[in-house]
Structure 1
Amino acid sequence: MDSIELEILWSNLIGIVTERAKALQRIAFSPVVREAGDLACALFDQRGRMVAQANTGTPGHINSLAIAGKHLVSLFDGKCEPGDILITNDPWLSAGHFFDITILTPIFRDAKLLAYIGSTIHHTDIGGYGIGAGARDVHEEGLWIPPLKFYEKGKPNETLHAIIRQNVRTPDAVFGDFSAQVSSGQAAADHLIALCERYGLEDIEALSDEVIRRSEEAMRGAIRKLTPGTYHGESSFDVPGGDVITLKSAVTVDADSGTIIVDFTGSSPQTNVGINVVKNYTHAYSTFAVRSSLNPDLPNNTGSLAPIEVRAPEGSILNCSYPAPVNARHVVGMYVPMPILKALHQVVPDRVLAEGSGAVWTMQVQGSRASGEAFTSAMFNYSGGMGARARKPGLSATCYPTGVAAVPIEILESAMPIVFDRKELRRGSGGAGRERGGDGQIIQFRLNTEAPWWLNAVPSRLDKGPDGIDGGHSGASGRFRVNGEDVNSVRKLAMNPGDVVVLETPGGGGFGE
């Protein structure tokens, strides 16, 4: 396949998945999808290999979707018919917790399977405990949907739909998001069929082979430029409840084969609160850290991910075993790049960041309106400061590595009885250095309700701020207060009318003396 033909076809593929991702975002019901972009959309070939991903989405979803798609294609190989749509939120097969639901649509032209289009989004509610870390095992956390057919021959699986509707608090919002995923997948199918007809393609297998081959060769080429060896990094941070988690990475560069092995042996064991991480999610953020440091312009697909191997001992906090609770897995998962970047600093010192604030601070409120109608917010996120770069300061109120934005407070106030009194940068919270870390932010809110309400809050770094690098200073640690009192709890908080919540997110570490 010559380069011009490949570029034309590749541009079409990227256009299809990106257009569908943006359409999904526009029509989604959940604010965390519609406003914050907590989603992923990707195209898979007949063998379940991710060929192209949209240019919008979050690393934790995108690279987990690559694995989820492969699992679903393997499980339903030869069992799909036109009009079938597949679904799962199995944490160990997909994105790591029940809220992230993957929909995979087989694309048929007449009776011939062409490819698959898949999406993963964070849903408003999935029953159970909620987004917090307080559940004692995975079964307390919500509804577990094994790999099933969500639609069969174009008709809804009525039994499955009824089970889901009965087990969530906000079924209209949940099924509104399902409709967004299903309709965007169907539109993508129409566009891919049109592409094949326009260019005389029987399927996309030859195109997929070429894209994946070139992507893998380019990634191996970037790795071969590095100095061979094993490099170590370590990151420690406190989590809800005050426990300290340590992540250790050994990054081995094999220049002969063009591979990198990231080994997390020695990291903390899994815990009894819902911050454990499945290996898919660990793999997603590990590959993101390596790729963004070495060759960020490469297409993100099965080819460019293939040269990066991720290892984590089973039963560790980065490869937890069933039935570990996982609903707040992002609290640890978003720290995965930090020890990798510290290791890569020894190889490519000008391409990495100092430690940032880590995970976004996730909030979820539940209660009843004056009318008695129940409400449940989708999670809304607040970032601390990003770590400084070698030649630029860290960005304020910006969380590396996630791509999730904050839901605007106007949207939240219009959707539920919440009032924000304060939202501003936390000046001076970034660590000093040749380049300064980004500042965190201060947010104050309360609920305008006469009834008690519940708060799921998942802050981290309340005791220890992010490390600087290369002589840079640490960023400030965070604070979480209710009615002026510091709180550090893993459990869902029972709140009263008039209670005031104040968040002060951490600042990023500085870079250089």
Structure 2
Amino acid sequence: MASSGAVAQKIDISDRMDPVTFEVLRNSFEYACNRMTTIMQRTSFSPILADILDFSNAIYDANVRLLAQAANCPVHLAAMQYSADAAIGRFPVDTLKPGDVIALNDPYQGGTHINDITFTMPIFYEGELLGFAVSRGHWMDLGGGAAGGMSFSTHIAAEGLRLPPIKLYENYEVNRDYLAIIMNNTRTPHYIRGDLQAHLGALKSAESEMQRAAARYGVETVKAAMNELIGYTERIVRKSIEAIPDGVYSAEDFADTDGFSPDPIKVKVTLTIAGSDITVDFAGSDPICKGSINSPFANTASAAYYSLQFFLAPHAPSNAGMFAPIKIELPDNCWLNAKWPAPTIGCTTLASSKITSAIWQALAKAIPERVTGSTCSECNWFVSTAVDKQTGRADVFSDLPAGGWGGTPFNDGMSVTMDPLGNCMNMAAETAELFFPIEYEAFELRQDSAGAGKFRGGLGAVFKVRYLCDGELNMETSRTREGSPGVNGGTRSAVQRSSHLYPDGKELVIGGFSPNGAWTSPLLSGHQFSYDEVFKFESTGGGGWGNPKDRPADKVLADFLDEYISIGTAKDTYRVVIDPKTMTVDKAATERLRGA
């Protein structure tokens, strides 16, 4: 049984620092992270970093405790702690010098899936270690049996180049041998140098901000503020936990498949609330999978942390104090505690989103008046090769067609919004068409995709991309067997589906349920597309909150007029009868139906 827990070191600074200085330094730490993000977005080369924003940045104190982070990808941010620990474990602090940068992406040493590569750099001021800057980015391709590493094989080696902690930079100069190895193991070498320079620029910007703070306030004052900041957040989080009734709360969710098993893969979570502490136990979850959806410890812990923070203290400064009251327990032989050589390409996108859904369902039993319905609970990550017939140029493109969030106790869920695992953006159609020989044909709201409720879920989308080239599509998704669950009487959302559209009008379902009821695994690798063929994806919405019969009839009518729901859903699910001629609610018929 593996477990994790952190204890924030508290320090009384009342006799050292006034509150104004503390607040100035707190904001300076956050500003350093935000500046890192600005540099990453503006200087990286690959669209997945520059446009989709699939990266994260943070700073840590000298004891490798999270100090501040930018509002980037939640699934990265807590996991980066384990990457930083592994980096310092391999290269102890007393061996590091200014300009050293340690890189790693090993899923079993603090990484997640191979595409997420983490860079850790020490920050010194006048010879004294102030802390560390850490930057993680999802690189478009690091080799493997399919573009983006999405071969969905049975061994981690098929997913790409796995890097243990290596000193990629010394004195701010890249190790050219390591760089050559990386560039020799990617389908997109044209992005590597630019993305690498973007990460280095982000790290150096954090270094300059931290050094500036130390020069102005002194090292001791800066370090005292770091300690108090972590303790401050821990106090806020513990107070929030104390507001939850003590007890044991369990829930389950499922991945559709691991690509090999015909059966769904179970996540079981048990939350034990005791005073100001929470234990998150995954006992009862399924064993390690044959397929590529396994989650290493760092990814599972990160998903548990950010899932809880949504309902604990999202207003608190983000640092190691968030983690101290939370203990993670994982069975050794569990698909959420992957060990070598278990493949992990779907861990951040598929596994983490199901962990969130399970935790939110468990919380619904403890604080039903506060919890929302589950989101689409998927990243819907696809990667495709694109070979231009005229030039022969080969490239790789990627996107994340979002779905809806769950209904809340106060309002409907957000439509077409990235799952909580990441604050990523969808690829802009203009960018995609400029970079790649494709056309974005549609990205529109999907009718009847949201779970019904007093407050319905947000809607999913219909996404279409036309190939003006030959390509091989690889995709990780789920929610094709059943939609995302609602809470407090809310219903599930619609199922997701992937389709291949041919120029002659034929439509072939390649992931999910076909019209005849047959189900196909949604984990795709190497699916071939030719010129003028279209990939279509239908994402799901969020789960509903509350009984659909409690939704006011005028809101049901408004949803119908906006084409969010059909007239059949209004009647069958919400028990509201709409006259198709007058486009108004038939009040008498509705009263009879709702009273039945």
Same-fold call, TM > 0.5? yes
| SS of match in other structure, 2:95 | coil
1:392 Cα offset (Å): 1.1
Change (3 A) 1:43 1:220: same
Q: Deviations over 1:407-452 (max 9, x none)?
A: 1121111111111222210022111110011111001112102xx4
Q: For the residues of structure 1 that align with 2:367 and 2:381, how far apart are their CA atoms?
A: 32
Pick from 156, 161, 166: which aligns with 2:179? Answer: 161
Q: CA deviation at 1:290?
A: 1.0
From 289, 312, 333, the equivalent of 1:271 is 289
Matched, 1:317 2:317: no
Aligned 1:182-221 pairs, distance under 5 A = 182-202=200-220, 204-221=222-239
* Structure 2 match to 1:328: 346
- Residue equivalent to 1:485: 508
- Which deviates more from structure 2 when the two are superposed, residues 492-501 or residues 316-325? 492-501
Q: Which residue of 2 aligns with 1:254?
A: 274
Q: In the alignment, is the contact (CA less than 8 A) between 1:48 and 1:74 conserved in 2? A: no
Say how many residue pairs are matched.
507
Cα separation, 2, equivalents of 1:245 and 1:356? 19
SS at structure 2 position matched to 1:102? strand
Aligned to 2:393: 373
> What does 1:143-162 align with in structure 2 at a 5 Å threshold?
143-162=161-180
Where does 1:400-439 land on structure 2 (aligned, <5 Å)? 400-402=419-421, 403-439=423-459
Report how far residue 133 of structure 1 moved: 5.2
Residue-by-residue CA offset, 1:122-156 (whole Å, 9 max, x unaligned): 11111113332512210111011110111112322
Query: In the alignment, is the contact (CA less than 8 A) between 1:133 and 1:458 conserved in 2?
Result: no
Deviation at 1:240?
6.5
Q: Partner residue of 1:383?
A: 402
Question: Once the two structures are superposed, what CA deviation does each residue of 1:151-178 show, in whole Å capped at 9, x if it has no partner?
Answer: 1123221211111111112122022111
Q: Distance in 2 between matches of 1:399 and 1:387?
A: 12
**Are 2:530 and 1:496 equivalent residues in the alignment?**
yes
Displacement of 1:245? 2.0
Residue range with higher mean Cα deviation, 494-503 or 271-280: 494-503
Greater CA drift, 382-391 or 345-354 = 345-354
84, 98, 102: which one aligns with 1:69: 84
Contact kept, 8 Å, 1:353 with 1:390, in 2: the verdict is yes
| Rounded Cα–Cα distance in structure 1 between residues aligned with 2:194 and 2:392 | 23
Question: Equivalences for 1:173-188 in 2 at 5 Å?
Answer: 173-188=191-206
**Are 1:357 and 2:391 matched, yes or no?**
no
Describe the SS at the equivalent of 2:311. helix
Relative to structure 2, which stretch is displaced further, 177-186 or 19-28?
A: 19-28
2:101 — aligned with what? 85
Query: Residues 352, 30 of structure 1: CA spacing in aligned structure 2 closer, same or farther, 3 A cutoff?
Result: farther
CA RMSD of aligned residues (A): 1.6
Rounded Cα–Cα distance in structure 1 between residues aligned with 2:451 and 2:99: 54
Q: Is it true that 1:245 corresponds to 2:265 in the alignment? A: yes
Q: Residues 289-319 of structure 1: CA distance to partner in whole angstroms, max 9, x if unpaired? A: 1111011111221112111111221221211
2:488 aligns with 470
CA apart distance, 1:9:
0.9
Post-superposition offset of 1:510: 0.7
Q: Secondary structure at the match of 1:334?
A: helix
Residue aligning to 2:128: 112
Structure 1 residue aligned with 2:356: 337
Q: Residue 585 of structure 2 corresponds to which residue in structure 1?
A: none
Query: 1:22 and 2:38 equivalent?
Result: yes
The alignment's TM-score, normalised by the length of structure 1, stands at: 0.95
Counterpart-to-counterpart distance in 2, 1:95 and 1:61: 9
Displacement, 1:202? 4.8
Contact between 1:101 and 1:122, CA under 8 Å: does it hold in 2?
yes
Query: Distance in 1 between the 2:137 and 2:407 partners?
Result: 30
1:124 to 140, 154, 157: 140
2:467 alignment counterpart: 447
Separation of aligned partners in 1, 2:198 and 2:160: 22
SS at match of 2:77: helix
- 2:539 maps to what in 1? 505
Equivalent-residue separation in structure 2 for 1:33 and 1:64 (angstroms): 18
Determine if contact 2:248/2:272 at 8 Å carries over to the other structure. Answer: yes
SS in 1 for 2:78: helix
**Percent identity of equivalent pairs:** 30
Larger Rg: 2
CA shift at 1:203, angstroms? Answer: 7.4
Q: For 2:190 and 2:427, how far apart are their aligned partners in 1?
A: 20
Q: TM-score, normalised by structure 2?
A: 0.82
